[in-house]
């Protein structure tokens, strides 16, 4: 049986604009022997390093894939200003991070010169790259030199994470939003409250909790995956909410989320926020 990854690998080898291609995440761990085979629900995560990044802003190229029909195609900006494509094919889902070749070539050069140790902006940029690749990566196109760069970057570049200052900024923003939500709740704007509860307060706790676990050396995924299997009851309480569109459900959720933010900031920085208690 030809899988989606098989089709993509065959197609990439014939594309002159693709100078480097790497699979990362669960499929990479499976290919390298460092993990179990990817389950049927795992998408294919690929980094495409290309001299023609604009080519992937629409789906026309997908017509070249053998045995695959595209069902839906979405392009979104991600970290560092690069584009991420999510495509649903007849054979499954694939996420492509599209990197301009010159950009990664310069990053590799800076790394080889040791500039990631001395130039903060280069360290941040390579740190974002290394963070994504830290969950496992296998270079499918580009040769052993590029594989060596990926492996060394993950091992040697400090991974991009939240600073204490950035964590406090997130927490302050969530608290400000919480006070606004209580006003919306009093006005009966229940749908808006539910939306911002998840978009701001709970999302903040996800990001802070991920940082706490990473600093402790614990397994964590930045998008909140597998939290039911990874987290204890106390950690899970900061991000798991069963909320209905009623004030007696929404108000406790807001207060619980803010309490979780306080605890997470204390765990990260050793300091407890002095915000007034919400009622």
* β-bridge pairing 70-77 and 83-89: antiparallel
CA–CA separation, 183 and 254 (whole Å): 12
**Structure confidence at residue 1 (pLDDT):** 66
Looking at residue 135, what is its pLDDT? 84
The CB-side HSE value for 147 (13 A sphere, CA atoms) comes to: 12
Contact 127, 158 (CB under 8 A): yes
CA–CA separation, 89 vs 69, rounded Å?
5
Name the one residue in this structure whose structure tokens are 């196109």. 141
- Domain 4-156, CATH class in plain words: alpha beta
Q: What is the pLDDT of residue 140?
A: 96
pLDDT at residue 199, as a whole number = 96
Closest C-alpha among 130, 110, 133 to residue 121: 110
pLDDT at residue 60, as a whole number: 96
How far, CA to CA in Å, does 255 sit from each of 170, 193, 205, 276?
16, 13, 13, 12
Positions in the chain short of pLDDT 50:
none
Provide the pLDDT for residue 126. Answer: 94
Give the per-residue pLDDT at 132. 87
Instruction: Report domain extents, the chain.
Output: 4-156, 164-269
């Amino acid at each position: 049986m030809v899988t989606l990854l098989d089709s993509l690998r065959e197609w990439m080898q014939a594309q002159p604009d693709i100078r480097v291609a790497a699979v990362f995440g669960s499929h990479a761990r499976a290919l390298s022997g460092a993990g179990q085979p990817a389950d049927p629900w795992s998408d294919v995560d690929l980094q495409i390093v290309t001299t023609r990044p604009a080519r992937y802003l629409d789906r026309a190229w997908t017509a070249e894939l053998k045995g695959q029909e595209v069902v839906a195609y979405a392009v979104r900006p991600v970290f560092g200003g690069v584009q991420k494509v999510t495509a649903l094919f007849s054979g499954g889902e694939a996420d492509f991070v599209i990197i301009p070749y010159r950009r990664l070539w310069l990053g590799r050069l800076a790394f080889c010169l040791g500039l990631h140790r001395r130039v903060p902006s280069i360290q941040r940029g390579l740190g974002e790259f290394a963070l994504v690749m830290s969950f496992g990566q296998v270079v499918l196109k580009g040769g052993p030199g590029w594989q060596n760069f990926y492996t060394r970057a993950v091992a040697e570049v400090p991974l991009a994470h939240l600073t204490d200052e950035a964590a406090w900024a997130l927490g302050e923003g969530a608290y400000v939003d919480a006070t606004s939500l209580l006003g919306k709740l009093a006005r009966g704007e229940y749908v808006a409250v539910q939306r911002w509860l998840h978009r701001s307060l709970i999302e903040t706790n996800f990001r802070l909790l991920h940082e706490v676990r990473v600093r402790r050396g614990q397994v964590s995924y930045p998008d909140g995956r597998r939290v039911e299997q990874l987290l204890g009851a106390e950690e899970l309480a900061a991000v798991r909410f069963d909320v209905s569109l009623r004030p007696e459900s929404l108000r406790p959720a807001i207060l619980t989320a803010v309490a979780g933010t306080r605890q997470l900031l204390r765990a990260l920085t050793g300091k407890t926020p002095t915000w007034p208690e919400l009622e």
